[in-house]
Amino acid sequence: EAGVAQSPRYKIIEKRQSVAFWCNPISGHATLYWYQQILGQGPKLLIQFQNNGVVDDSQLPKDRFSAERLKGVDSTLKIQPAKLEDSAVYLCASSFSVDTQYFGPGTRLTVL
């Protein structure tokens, strides 16, 4: 089966610019996660969707970050405006059952 797809793979922007990331989960996976992974740290959950509803977005900086999963399949994560500290790898993962999460390749964001 096809894995989790993410695009773009790399993005370089200047601070205060906007950026959007796209994720296509594995077909049939109801749960979708967005993580932020800063260099030298483990992934940090930003938001979890169950179908098109938000399960948890408590760690999403809502003043600048937004995410949606309108039809319960693809998802987009947006940052507006970006700050230097947003430089990280943004990981998307999906799961069918409650255990294994399947990860995409990630998007490496550099904010200058």
Partner 1 sequence: AQRVTQPEKLLSVFKGAPVELKCNYSYSGSPELFWYVQYSRQRLQLLLRHISRESIKGFTADLNKGETSFHLKKPFAQEEDSAMYYCALSADSNYQLIWGAGTKLIIKP
Where along the sequence are the contacts to partner 1 (CB under 8 A)?
Answer: 3-4, 33, 40-45, 48, 55-56, 91, 93, 95, 98-106
Dihedral angle, C-alpha 51, 57, 68, 15, nearest 10 °: -150
- The least CB distance from residue 15 to partner 1, in Å, is 26
Residue that has been written with the tokens 């483990």 in this structure? 42
What SS3 class is residue 49? strand
Long-range CB pairs of 49-52 (<8 Å, 24+ gap) are: 49/75
Q: Closer to partner 1 at the Cβ: 17 or 31?
A: 31
- The least CB distance from residue 2 to partner 1, in Å, is 13
- The least CB distance from residue 31 to partner 1, in Å, is 8
